[in-house]
Amino acid sequence: MAKLFDSITEELQEFIAAQNLFFVGTAPLSATGHVNLSPKGLDCLRILSPHKVAYLDLTGSGNETSAHLQENGRITFMFCAFTEPARILRLYGQGHVILPSYPDWDSVYSVFPPLPGTRQIIVADIEIVQSSCGFGVPLYEYQGQRQTLVNWAAKKGEQGVREYQQQKNSISIDGLPTPLGQLSDG
């Protein structure tokens, strides 16, 4: 049975901390725009308060989350237990992007491990927390985090990653600008 919470309780914080994978969902306002759902790992999520979470976003092939947040701010996080006991947890909120050039970067970035390829931090104010059974989620055995993305960014170097971001992360697949795209314009 689904249960609603008005904040991330201590028990739910422990559940989140135990997960090696989470998903982030966003969507543009346009009915024809594409809904984005991204898996995240690498110990990049932090609970900043019972109503606020943040994750360190690494450079990837797209930047849909950033574009959608800039347009409308809506964001959902989903955590699934792949071991017993079964559980699904969703965090619904309003998010925004913090780029390395923003004044609050250093204070938020300090809670994360430094990782090559860091692109931005996504911060979300959580409005509703929902827990559900997760009985339909299969059991999986965790083997470890992939290092492919971190190794790719380290090999490319800071300048190479910045160039890649300007080429591949400035506009969403629906043509929406991202904060990185606005930096290249201004």
Residue 57 has pLDDT above 70, yes or no: yes
Other CB atoms closer than 10 Å to residue 182's CB: what's the count?
12
22-32 pLDDT per residue, tens: 999 999 999 89
Instruction: Please answer whether residues 49 and 108 qualify as being in contact, where contact means their C-beta atoms are separated by less than 8 angstroms.
Output: no
Instruction: Please answer whether residues 119 and 112 qualify as being in contact, where contact means their C-beta atoms are separated by less than 8 angstroms.
Output: no
114-138 pLDDT per residue, tens: 999 999 999 999 999 999 999 999 9
Torsion of CA 73, 97, 66, 29, to 10 degrees: 10
Residue 182 has pLDDT above 90, yes or no: no
Torsion of CA 90, 114, 170, 77, to 10 degrees: 0
Instruction: Please answer whether residues 96 and 57 qualify as being in contact, where contact means their C-beta atoms are separated by less than 8 angstroms.
Output: no
CATH superfamily of 3-181: Electron Transport, Fmn-binding Protein; Chain A (2.30.110.10)
183 — pLDDT class (breaks 50, 70, 90): low
Six-digit token pair at 8?
A: 């991330």
CA distance linking residue 88 with residue 138, whole number of Å:
12
* Cis peptide bond N-terminal to 28, omega within 30: no
Give the domain ranges of the chain.
Answer: 3-181
Six-digit token pair at 57?
A: 């976003």
Rounded to two decimals, what is the model's pTM? Answer: 0.94
CA distance linking residue 94 with residue 87, whole number of Å:
23
